[in-house]
Amino acid sequence: MILDLVCVSPEQHTLAKELADSLSASLNTSQASSKKPYLDLSEDGLAFFHPAARSRKKLLIDFNSGASRWRIERASHEKLIKKALGRSDAPLNILDCTAGLLQDTLVFLSLGHRVTALEQSRIMFHLLEDAIHRSEDSSIFKNLDLINEEACSYTREVKNIDVVYFDPMYPKTKKSALSSGQLEYVEKVLEVESVSNNAAKEFEVLQSIPKKKLIVKRPIKAEPFSQELNYQVFGKTTRFDVYL
């Protein structure tokens, strides 16, 4: 599907043209149709709209407020993910294979670690880049390397990684059908780009990466990808399977 990239502000047409070329999108300098998905570039930032999403709001990633800001400010209270990472005398080099909305990467960065975050979706990658550019606290991202690539394709480039972190999309259930508007929008982005993954096969590839630890985030009742895990960290709805 060729998306429209809508930009009605003449001052942003140059940037919009660059983004449209990068995303293979069609630049539209007039009002968008609400009957099909589109990207919107405005003074607020780059956003994504899908008519089938329950939320009428566009997906505009914001690291200055809301859940993202809350996670940054409360990173030291993230007991489960800190326990999964374990104690370390020096900052860890973490490979986040599933960047998504950067929610867990924000915790890693706030705890002082260095993160290479992989996002295979071109749309999500540009939404994240735009949100980082708009962030009022640029220092939080100084140790982040955001890369637009699929994790399995990146494995041959991996060097000096301490932790591989893998958070595949949860299988759809009746409860997940009522997931947050942002998570539903991520699913819509992947649908538009025809991006699909086989988490079990990805896990097998990620196991082969030289590292000290592989952490896999799973729903609390889901089967682990392998019975050869070393330990688990349990929350109420989520757990971390750790492979050494």
Q: Are residues 22 and 116 in the same domain?
A: no
Residue 239 in tokens? 């757990």
User: What's 84's domain CATH number?
Assistant: 3.40.50.150
**How far apart (Å, rounded) are the C-alpha atoms in residues 156 and 176?**
34
Average of pLDDT values for 162-186?
A: 74
**How far apart (Å, rounded) are the C-alpha atoms in residues 165 and 222?**
17
Count of domains forming the chain: 2
Q: DSSP secondary structure string, 123-137?
A: HHHHHHHHHHHH-S-
Q: What residues make up the domain containing 192?
A: 66-243
Q: Within a domain: residue 185?
A: yes
**How far apart (Å, rounded) are the C-alpha atoms in residues 157 and 91?**
21
Q: Within a domain: residue 61?
A: no
**pLDDT of the residue at 174:** 46
Is residue 32's pLDDT more than 90? no
Q: Are residues 37 and 94 in the same domain?
A: no
Instruction: Give me the chain's average pLDDT, please.
Output: 91
Helix (H) or strand (E) holding 39: strand 38-42
Q: Are residues 13 and 96 in the same domain?
A: no
Q: Within a domain: residue 55?
A: no
pTM: 0.92
pLDDT in tens, 80-133: 999 999 999 999 999 999 999 999 999 999 999 999 999 999 999 999 999 999
Q: Are residues 33 and 76 in the same domain?
A: no
